[in-house]
Amino acid sequence: MAQRTVQNHNRMVLNSLEEGDLIAIHRSWTYDHWAVYDGDGNVIHLTGIGDNSHVGHSISVSGVLRNKAVVRRDKFWTVVDNCRATKNNSKDKTYRKFEAVDIVKRARDRLGPYIYSIVWNNCEHFASWCRYGLLKSDQIETIKTRGVIFGTCAVIGLWIVSVYQKEKEKEKKNEELEGILKMKVN
């Protein structure tokens, strides 16, 4: 039943797409795969190269470890598989987009082998570059921000523990000194 719901949702998304639109395909709680709509039910996307790599998975073991990837043109349904897709041109509010014909041309001009980097050149970077001329990945920016926040909290936490331990050591030394002084007085 859930699979049918996803397929119905994706059918509505596909029917709403225009050439040059960006598509985010929700793969897991950790990431979305991105593609550019090419028209006629086709998408162009950056994906990993691997023996058993699913055509729509941009992060494959071989793609990540060997930095090998390819920009491919595939059918929308092949790439989305059983995952929920959404039209996502949200960066239009912030950045100037190219005309649809130019977006598709930029994507088509990159068909073939491609250098992949999860941090600097992933499928979202590729899709954003096609539409806006910018290598932008909100997913990576979110991870970086969370990393900075986590790192800052860890440093503050370690500092607090260190201060607490120093205070405990001071208290212990003071207690020892008081004990020695009491012994001398007696």
In the set 57, 123, 125, 130, the catalytic residue is 123
Containing 71, the helix (H) or strand (E) segment is: strand 68-75
Give yes or no: 33 in active site.
yes
Measured CA to CA, the distance from residue 43 to residue 127 in angstroms comes to 11
Give yes or no: 123 in active site.
yes
Tokens of 112: 């073939």
Phi and psi at residue 50, to the nearest 5°: -170, 160
In the set 45, 57, 125, 130, the catalytic residue is 45
Which of 103, 97, 127 has its CA nearest to residue 114? 127
For residues 18 and 54, is the Cβ–Cβ distance under 8 A? no
Catalytic residues: 33, 45, 123
